[in-house]
Amino acid sequence: MDVDQLRKENEEKAEEEQERGPIKSDPGSAPVGDAVEDFHNRDALAFGIPAHRAGTGEVQHDAARWAGPQAFRADPGMNNGVDNRHQSWQVESTAMELFAEAVGADQTLFSTNGSTLNVHVALLAVAHPGESVVMARNGHKSAFAALVLSGAMPIYVDPVYDERWQVAHGVEPDELDRVLAAHPEAKAAIMFTPTYYGVSADVKSLAQAAHRHDIPLVTDDAWGLDYSFCSRLPPSALESGADLAIGSVHKTLNGFGQTSVLSTQGDRIDSERLELVFELEQSTSASALLIGSIDAARRQFQREGEELLGAAIDRALLLREAVELIPGLDLLPESVAGGPGAFAFDPTHVSIDVVGLGLTGFSAADWLRDHQRIHVELADHRRIMPLITFADGNENIERLIRALRELAKSHAEADPAPDYDIAAPAELRMETVMLPREAFLGKTEDVPWRQSAGRISAEMICPYPPGIPITAPGERLTEEAVDYLEQIVAMGGMVEGASDESLETFRVVA
C-alpha cells in the first residue's frame, strides 16, 4: 500500500468535493444555514443521528408544539447532512473563518455549550497543571470550574469595589501590573469584562500590562460580543488588544441559548494546544441548529448591527429617562464610567436600585413577576437589572415602564429598606491554601455552617445571578464569608455550586 499516493488522492478528492459543496466563503452567506437548505433542496435522507431525522420522518415530535417543525428541519447531522464524513465541504470551518473576519480575529471557534465551555478551554490552553495564572476574583463560576479541570493555581487580583453602588467593577491596570511583577511565574492574565452591570474595564491598558510581562490577556467578555458590531458601544476586547476573547452569542446577539464563540489574535496563544483542548471539551454531536444560529447571527449583525444595536441603545435611554422620574427608584448612571475600574459603560444594562421602596432586589423581582408578569435578568440585595436588547420594541419598553411605575406606586408608603450590612469584597477575600483541583476532587466532608470557618472550602458557592463564587475550592473559609452567604440566602437569594444549596452545611476538605 502506497500511503503517500493514497494521501495525495484523498487530498485531491477533498478539493474536488469542496468545489462541489453547497457553501461559499462570502460575508453575505451563512454557510451552515446554506448547507441545511441544500440538504432539504436535494431531497437528501440521512440514516444517522440525530434520531429525529431532521423533519424528514413520519413521526410528529412533541417538541414541535412549541419549537415548531422547522426547528427539527434545521438540525440535520453536521457530518451526514450539513457536511460529509470528511468535512471536505468545510461548512463549519468556513463559518468560523467568516466570524473571525467580522470581529477582527485570527481564529474563531464555535461552542454549543455556552461560554462555560470556552472558559474551560481558554484556561486549559494557557496553563499546564500546577502552573499559575493571575485571575480577577470577580470571575464567573465557569472560570473556577476551569481551575479544577486544568489543575492551575490562581493568583487572584481584586477588581475595584464601588462603595456608592455596592458593586465590583473591573481590575485597574496598575494593580494587574503590580501583581504580575510580584508573580513572574504567571502564565496568563484572565479578566472578566464587561460586568453583569454593563461596566467595562480598561482592556487596552490591561492588555498592555500583560504584554509587558510577556503573557497573554484572556478576557471573558460574555456580555460584550455585540461591541464588535456597533460603534456606539464600548470598544471590543479584541479591538483593545486581548489575545483571547470569549463572547456569548445568545446574550447580546440572536443565537440560540448555549451559543458562544472563542476568538484569538496574535501569537501569544498556542493555536495547536487551543484546538486540542477545544476538541477535548466540545460535543462530538454538536447541533446544526445551534451552530447555524451562530453563523446567522454573524451575518445579520455584520449587515445590520449598527442599526439593530443602535435602536436597543435608544430604547434603553428612553427607559432610563423614565426610571429617573419614578419616586423611590435610583439608577446606576452612565457617568459611572471614568471612575476607578470603570472605563466604559453599556447603557442597555439598566440597573435600578429599589431600596428607596423598602425592597430588596429579590423581592422587587418577585413582585414584578407575580403582579406584572415581568421577568428581569438580574436581582441582587438592592437592585434589579432588566436587559434591553435589539429584540425589544417600543411596546416592550412601555410595558416595563408601566410595571415599574406600579411597583413604585404599590410601595410608595413603605419605609426605605434597612441598610443591610453587606460585606465589601475585600472583607470576603480568603487565602488560597490548596490547589482548587485537589480541594474539589479530594476527600471531603459536610459540616454545619457555624463550624465551617477555618476549614478549606471544597466547593464554589455562587449567588446566582451573577454567578461569581464567594467561596472557591482551596480557600480557607472565614466567618465573614460564611455570614455573608447566610444573609444572601435569608434575603431570598439563590446560590449555585453548593452541595447543600440551603447552606445549612458546607462541603470542606476532610
Q: How far, in Å, CA of 362 to CA of 327, rounded?
A: 19
pLDDT at 304 over 90: yes
Judge if 55 and 185 occupy the same domain.
no
CATH number at residue 272: 3.40.640.10
pLDDT at 9 over 70: no
Judge if 38 and 148 occupy the same domain.
no
CATH number at residue 445: 3.90.100.10
CB atoms under 10 Å from CB of 460, counted, come to 28
Task: State residue 323's pLDDT score.
Answer: 98
Beta strands in 9-162 (DSSP E): 107-111, 132-136, 153-157, 161-162
- pLDDT band at residue 16 under the 50/70/90 scheme: low
- pLDDT band at residue 30 under the 50/70/90 scheme: very high
- pLDDT band at residue 84 under the 50/70/90 scheme: confident
% of residues, the chain, pLDDT over 70: 95
Judge if 78 and 99 occupy the same domain.
no
Query: Which residue range(s) make up the domain with 448?
Result: 425-509
Within-domain flag for 401? no
pLDDT at 490 over 90: no
Cis status of the peptide bond prior to 448, with omega within 30 of 0? no
Judge if 211 and 269 occupy the same domain.
yes
Q: How far, in Å, CA of 494 to CA of 154, rounded?
A: 26
Q: Which residue has the cell 493555581?
A: 153
DSSP secondary structure code for residue 461 in this structure: B
Nearest to 122 by CA among 49, 191, 29: 191
Q: Which residue has the cell 473571525?
A: 100
Task: State residue 15's pLDDT score.
Answer: 66
Is there a contact between 216 and 210 (Cβ–Cβ < 8 Å)?
yes
Last residue of a domain, one of 82, 111, 145: 82
3-state secondary structure of 162: strand
pLDDT at 147 over 80: yes
Judge if 260 and 183 occupy the same domain.
yes
Q: How far, in Å, CA of 349 to CA of 362, rounded?
A: 17
Beta strands in 306-366 (DSSP E): 330-331, 344-345, 352-353
Judge if 129 and 264 occupy the same domain.
yes
Within-domain flag for 311? no
Give the torsion sign (CA, 135, 141, 142, 145): positive
pLDDT at 86 over 80: no
Contacts of residue 250, Cβ cutoff 8 Å, sequence gap at least 6: 114, 256, 257, 258, 259, 260
Within-domain flag for 201? yes
Judge if 251 and 126 occupy the same domain.
yes
Per-residue pLDDT averaged across 348-375, rounded?
A: 95
Within-domain flag for 168? yes
Task: State residue 160's pLDDT score.
Answer: 95
Q: What is the pLDDT of residues 221-250, one digit of tens each?
A: 999 999 999 999 999 999 999 999 999 999
Judge if 20 and 114 occupy the same domain.
no
Which of 258-262, 272-276, 467-471 is predicted least confidently?
A: 467-471
Task: State residue 361's pLDDT score.
Answer: 93
Domain count along the chain = 3
3-state secondary structure of 507: strand
Dihedral pair phi/psi, residue 476, rounded to 5°: -85, 120
Judge if 103 and 162 occupy the same domain.
yes
Within-domain flag for 206? yes
Q: What is the pLDDT of residues 407-433, one digit of tens each?
A: 999 998 877 766 655 677 778 889 999
Which of 120-129, 360-369, 477-486 is predicted least confidently?
A: 477-486
Q: What is the pLDDT of residues 102-131, one digit of tens each?
A: 999 999 999 999 999 999 999 999 999 999
Judge if 157 and 263 occupy the same domain.
yes
Within-domain flag for 404? no
Per-residue pLDDT averaged across 195-208, rounded?
A: 97
Last residue of a domain, one of 282, 299, 316: 299
Per-residue pLDDT averaged across 341-355, rounded?
A: 97
Within-domain flag for 325? no
Kindly write down the DSSP assignment for every residue of 189-233, as one continuous string: EEEE-S-TTSEEP-HHHHHHHHHHTT--EEEE-GGGGGGGG-TTS
As a whole number of angstroms, the longest Cα–Cα distance in the chain is: 88
Judge if 18 and 100 occupy the same domain.
no
Q: What is the pLDDT of residues 160-190, one digit of tens each?
A: 999 889 899 999 999 999 999 999 999 999 9
- C-alpha of 405 from chain center: 31
Last residue of a domain, one of 56, 82, 108: 82
Within-domain flag for 376? no
Task: State residue 435's pLDDT score.
Answer: 96
Judge if 246 and 135 occupy the same domain.
yes
Q: How far, in Å, CA of 60 to CA of 69, rounded?
A: 8
